[in-house]
Amino acid sequence: MNQTELREGGESMTIRESVSNYIRGLTNETISDHSRNLFADGLLTSLDVLDLISFIEDTFDFQIEADDADMESFGTIDGIVNLIQKGTQGH
């Protein structure tokens, strides 16, 4: 298994799939455009970001720095995946 995959429920899942599934659970909406701005479209709130940070830190075993918790990193699924990939390099 490489760093872009994780095991969840016995199945291999990419970071993108894991994040997409979590956001689908928060928003009850499937996001097919991973560059879609989740805040501008009203899908995520600041409270959702706190939940998302907890999920990321627990699932991918790294701490998100306060400087990284910005609109660029958390505004899109692509941004979130990039943040996770940077944060897990070297693990």
Q: What is the pLDDT of residues 43-57, one digit of tens each?
A: 999 899 899 999 999
Supply the pTM of this predicted model. Answer: 0.83
2-25 pLDDT, tens digit per residue, is 445 555 554 558 999 999 999 999
Q: Which two tokens stand for residue 55?
A: 């999920």
**Rounded-to-integer distance, Cα 49 and Cα 35, Å:** 17
The per-residue b/e assignment along 40-70, b for 16 or more CB within 10 angstroms, e otherwise, is eeebbeeebbeebbebbeeebebebeeeeee
How far, in Å, CA of 24 to CA of 19, rounded?
Answer: 8
